[in-house]
Each structure stands twice: as C-alpha cells, then as structure tokens.
Amino acid sequence: GLKGIRDVVRSTLMTYRADRDGRMFKPEDIDDLKLMIAPEARRRGVLLEWTIELKEEVSVPASALRQIVLNLVLNACQASPRDMTVRVSAIADDHRFELSVEDEGAGLPKAATEILSGRDGLPAPIGGGAGLGLWMTNRLVRENKGTVVVSSATFGGTKIAVKLPLQKQEALRHVA
C-alpha cells in the first residue's frame, strides 16, 4: 500500500509542480548533472561518455532540460550492461538545442517507446519501472515544443534524440 501511495505522490508532484524558476540552461548545469548521475553509473558499472558543445546559456528552461537529461541518462544507465558505455551529446545553434543519449542495452521496448514518443494526453504510468520518467520526458519535450526520436544506436541499443527550439527573447520578457 505504501509503495502505491508513493507512486501516486510522485506522479502528482511531477504532473502539477509548477516551475517558477524561469532560469535558462547553462553549461554549468551539465557539470551538475554529471555529478548527480555518476554514482548511479558507477553502481551499475556503466561508463559515461559526455560530448558537450555548449559555450553559453541556452534559451531553454533549465529545470525542464535538466529533468529530461536526468531521466534519459539514468534510463540508459539502467538499460546498459555492466562495462558498457552510455554516450551523451549536446549541441545548440541559433535556433535549437539537440540532445542525444545512446546506450548499449537490448533496445527500448515498444511500450516504452510509445510512452516516450507517443501522443499527448496519455495518462501517467503508475508503479515502479512503469515508465513515469519517460512519460515526464515526453511531457516536458512537448511543453517546450520539441521532438523526440527513438532509433537504434550506433553501438547497439537505443539512441534517443531530443530537439528543442530555443525560446525567442521577446517571449522570455513576458515570463515573469
């Protein structure tokens, strides 16, 4: 019963918690995410390879992008066998931010792919390992007018590519 309550509370918080920060994503956020993810990668015996080509702030809400990166990289660590590599790359140009996460696991199951890249309005999956992180990633990407593409990775496993358009400066002025 307690596990069920925990899952409902997590889902509710993720669904209804308002992001009032308004801060944009900075290269330092990647350093922070590396520190947060490293213990789980070590525990699972997975190597992390980061290729980050960000030199300045990116006009994407920091909390949303941090949650997307965290969810995808932790899922990739979980999917990858011991002594395999999870590759994370990020790049931004004048128009969009692109994130790619590749693992060397068995591949993302069809049900999980549908949760991650499926249509808007799907109910949040409840229960341990049911895909709440993928559902939340889908929701955050859609809220930021982005796209998610799931494909086979170069080294086997799954590649998840997220593209988010950069917010226009005029739109940012009205976010207070």
Question: Can you tell me the distance from the alpha carbon of 72 to that of 75, in angstroms, rounded to the nearest whole number?
Answer: 5
pLDDT tens digits for 13-63?
Answer: 655 554 556 789 999 999 999 999 999 999 999 999 999 999 899 999 999
Q: Tell me the pLDDT band of 127, cut-offs 50, 70 and 90.
A: low
> CA angle, corner 106, sides to 124 and 52, nearest 5?
75
The DSSP element (H or E) to which 134 belongs, if any, is: helix 132-143
Q: Which residue, chain included where needed, has tokens 């049900």?
A: 111
Q: Which residue, chain included where needed, has tokens 């009032």?
A: 20
Query: By 3-state DSSP, what share of the chain in percent is helix, strand and coil, each rounded to 5?
Result: 45, 25, 35
Q: Tell me the pLDDT band of 97, cut-offs 50, 70 and 90.
A: very high
Give percent above pLDDT 90 in the chain.
57
pLDDT number for residue 119: 63
CA separation, residue 160 to residues 13, 87, 118 (Å): 25, 11, 13
Residue 7 has pLDDT above 80, yes or no: no
* Token pair of 71 as six digits: 């969810």
pLDDT number for residue 118: 74
Most confident of 4-13, 99-108, 113-122: 99-108
Q: Who has greater pLDDT, 171 or 136?
A: 136
Strand partners, 127: none
* Token pair of 95 as six digits: 């128009």
pLDDT number for residue 175: 53
Question: Can you tell me the distance from the alpha carbon of 74 to that of 160, in angstroms, rounded to the nearest whole number?
Answer: 13
